[in-house]
Structure 1
Amino acid sequence: MNVYEKLQHVQSGLKAPKNQYNKFGNYYYRNCEDIQEAAKPLLQEVKAALVVGDELVMIGDRYYIRATARFVDCESGETVENTAYAREEQDKKGMDASQVTGSTSSYARKYALNGLFCIDDVKDADNQDNTSGKGQTAGRSGKTGTKTSGKQETGKPGGAGPAAGLPENRTETEKVTPAMIKSVQSLVEKYSTKGLKMEKILKMYSIRGIAEMDVSQYKDCMGKLELYKEKELGNE
């Protein structure tokens, strides 16, 4: 089997029921560890390994945790990976700073695994009503991307939960802030020598100026611009 066939075998056989219960939000869920434990015997069957990690990145004026779940074929060395982003809460009641970062890391890793193994959390923290303090957790940015052998992006950023992972008090359809505009402009300028032009971005989102971009488009755009950074690092 090639790496895709092995991944398909794991995706088809993986069973990770929602055995965790959130008393505060009154819902069942699965965590990162549940998915990893369920995957282990299937990975052994197809002679593959799962590597999960994360890093801190700045998007706009906020820091996010970018988690990567990598499926590695132990026989050929080929890989397929998926990334997901989660934003730390500025203030999480009952948690110190290290606990907030840890919970955000676990959250991002879980969604990286969800994308890799085709797991759909139809009723999870992303779908809870947080306006009255129910089901609170770290916000998900909803950007995921699948890569093969670290060379070609084959997935596109997915949809986000309701206003998840956004700057405070902003929704997906609101326009970008000056800080967001500046972050896009700086990256376009930085990679202009590699063929990146603002005109391409405007055409991609059917807008006349960067100020017309909404937050959802901004997140999608930043996910694509990250590819230039990854290619640059890969050439060093």
Structure 2
Amino acid sequence: MSEIIKVLSTIQQKIKAKKDAKNKFAKYEYRTIESILENYKKASEGLETTLTFSEKILCDFDGKIILEATAILQKANESISSNAIVEIDYNHKGMSKEQIWGTASTYAKKRAVSSLLCLDDSEDDPDSLDNDENPNSNSLVDEIKNLAKIKNVAIEQILKCEKLKSLENAKPEQLHKILDNLRS
């Protein structure tokens, strides 16, 4: 096993990032990127790692701008990363274009680092369920299709962005990444 995988595993086991903020309007709790990074620093103390982010415009379909953020964990000459994508939506009332980009950037970085560090937002841990289904089961694919329909995202766009021929043949980690991005 490579050193970066060992270090990442150690950080994932140590990190405790509780949902420390509350959206009073929508009545839900969430983690801020600041608290995630603060907890990362505690969990990685003495491990000699760096955590950085990069961003790029991933694709532009039907006038929609998609931003991809990448969280990169590095130790010596090894690195491992995780990506997240968000749509830039200029229809946010009361926000300047700069604020819209800043909000999208922060959210994409938070999703990428949450994925890298395995911060789970779900009530149930899917790995703990007694489930005989294939990870690429129809339920995951159906969930992606339903969520894409609700969010008005064409399956063809998803396939093109993820460089896939079909959802049914995607790897489990690809399906989970697509779901995470659709949920964001």
TM-score, with length taken from structure 2: 0.69
**Is the Cα–Cα contact under 8 Å of residues 66 and 84 in structure 1 kept in the other structure?**
yes
Q: Which runs of 5+ in 1 are unaligned?
A: 124-158, 177-214, 226-236
C-alpha distance in 2 between matches for 1:221 and 1:56: 14
C-alpha distance in 2 between matches for 1:171 and 1:26: 21
Structure 1 residue 31: Cα displacement: 1.7
**Is the Cα–Cα contact under 8 Å of residues 65 and 87 in structure 1 kept in the other structure?**
yes
Counterpart in the other structure of 1:102: 102
Matched letter for residue 73 of structure 1: K
C-alpha distance in 2 between matches for 1:97 and 1:161: 30
In structure 2, the residue corresponding to 1:25 is in which secondary structure? coil
Q: Does 1:50 align with 2:29?
A: no
**Is the Cα–Cα contact under 8 Å of residues 15 and 42 in structure 2 kept in the other structure?**
no
Structure 1 residue 224: Cα displacement: 2.2
Structure 1 residue 19: Cα displacement: 0.8
**Is the Cα–Cα contact under 8 Å of residues 10 and 39 in structure 1 kept in the other structure?**
yes
Structure 1 residue 217: Cα displacement: 5.1
Q: Does 1:70 align with 2:72?
A: yes
**Is the Cα–Cα contact under 8 Å of residues 145 and 155 in structure 2 kept in the other structure?**
no
C-alpha distance in 1 between matches for 2:85 and 2:100: 15
In structure 1, the residue corresponding to 2:57 is in which secondary structure? strand
In structure 2, the residue corresponding to 1:35 is in which secondary structure? helix
When residues 160 and 71 of structure 1 are mapped into structure 2, their CA distance, relative to the original with a 3 A threshold, is farther
C-alpha distance in 2 between matches for 1:161 and 1:39: 34
Q: Does 1:218 align with 2:165?
A: no
Counterpart in the other structure of 1:117: 117
| Structure showing greater Rg | 1
C-alpha distance in 2 between matches for 1:53 and 1:120: 22
Cα RMSD, aligned residues only: 2.5
C-alpha distance in 2 between matches for 1:31 and 1:5: 26
TM-score, with length taken from structure 1: 0.54
Q: Which runs of 5+ in 2 are unaligned?
A: 124-142, 165-184
Counterpart in the other structure of 1:148: none
C-alpha distance in 2 between matches for 1:20 and 1:120: 16
Structure 1 residue 171: Cα displacement: 3.5
Structure 1 residue 16: Cα displacement: 0.7
Moved over 3 A (4+): 159-163
**Is the Cα–Cα contact under 8 Å of residues 59 and 222 in structure 1 kept in the other structure?**
no
Identity %: 27
**Is the Cα–Cα contact under 8 Å of residues 69 and 112 in structure 1 kept in the other structure?**
yes
